[in-house]
Structure 1
């Protein structure tokens, strides 16, 4: 069974930089768990991975060590021509807007990219299951709700990455036998 872990920008921001204990604990857990954290290109850009980006221009990213070491991977481009991907991304924007009371136009494109990537990986069978690690509860809830509506109810899980989660994370979090719908 292939489980793919997708991480949101907030996970890395909440960890702090590579010199922080939470970052090192996450790094150790992911590496010992034998997995990688996949991030959409939008997350990469938000973390400063593209110095030419208009929105988040920076050349220093808190994940550069993870990219070099291979425990963080930038996912392939989203296939917007895939009707499932584009539909789920549009639906995600609406769900988050309704949940938060914000205008749809103000919903971060990164949030929709997380759910779009999960849909794409499940649809193409590049993943049997997806675990979304996020600090954004509405995005995580949208992922579980919408992907279930599109036939992936038993193949998606979101984990809310709180301070406590990062302070206690171990490699066991990344082993297939721990896939247990732990979303909170």
Structure 2
């Protein structure tokens, strides 16, 4: 069974830069298990990357080590022409808006892109299971609620990335 780990911007912000202990713990855990964190294009942009550049990292991205070492990977562009991807992303926007009591047009695209990437990976058969690592509880709840409604029961897991999670993370989290 192939599991893909999808991460949001908050994971990297919470880690701090490459000189921080939390960043190094995450890095070691991923490298020891040969796991990569996949991020949507919108997350890459939030981290300071330029998706139009020939290669990443680009611009003034704060986590170039992860990209250069291969444990952070920018996922393929979301296929908005796929009705499942666009429907789930629209549903996620509504779900997050309801859960946070905000207008739908105020929901960040990166939040819905996390859920969109999860469903796209599952729908295309690129993976059997997705683990969503996020500091955004509404986005994580949206993924765990909506994907089973579209036939992906027991194939999505949301893990809340707290400071404590990052301070104690080991390779066992990815085995």
TM-score scaled by length of structure 2: 0.95
What CA distance in whole angstroms lies between the structure 2 residues aligned with 1:70 and 1:98? 36
The residue aligned with 1:2 is 2
Give the 3-state SS of the residue equivalent to 1:153 in structure 2: coil
CA contact (8 A) 2:44 2:51 kept: no
The residue aligned with 1:141 is 141
Unpaired segments ≥5 residues, structure 1: 176-184
TM-score scaled by length of structure 1: 0.90
1:152 pairs with 2:162: no
Give the 3-state SS of the residue equivalent to 2:153 in structure 1: helix
CA contact (8 A) 1:6 1:118 kept: yes
What CA distance in whole angstroms lies between the structure 2 residues aligned with 1:133 and 1:169? 12
Give the 3-state SS of the residue equivalent to 1:157 in structure 2: strand
Deviation (angstroms), 1:153? 1.5
Where do 4+ consecutive residues of structure 1 move more than 2 Å?
Answer: none
Deviates more, 1:44-53 or 1:96-105: 44-53
What CA distance in whole angstroms lies between the structure 2 residues aligned with 1:52 and 1:142? 29
What CA distance in whole angstroms lies between the structure 1 residues aligned with 2:88 and 2:62? 29
The residue aligned with 2:23 is 23
Query: How many residues were matched structurally?
Result: 171
Deviation (angstroms), 1:61? 1.5
Please report the RMSD computed on the Cα atoms of aligned residues, expressed in angstroms.
Answer: 1.4
The residue aligned with 1:76 is 76
What CA distance in whole angstroms lies between the structure 1 residues aligned with 2:170 and 2:33? 8
CA contact (8 A) 1:51 1:59 kept: no
Give the 3-state SS of the residue equivalent to 2:133 in structure 1: strand
What CA distance in whole angstroms lies between the structure 2 residues aligned with 1:143 and 1:68? 29
The residue aligned with 2:37 is 37
Unpaired segments ≥5 residues, structure 2: none
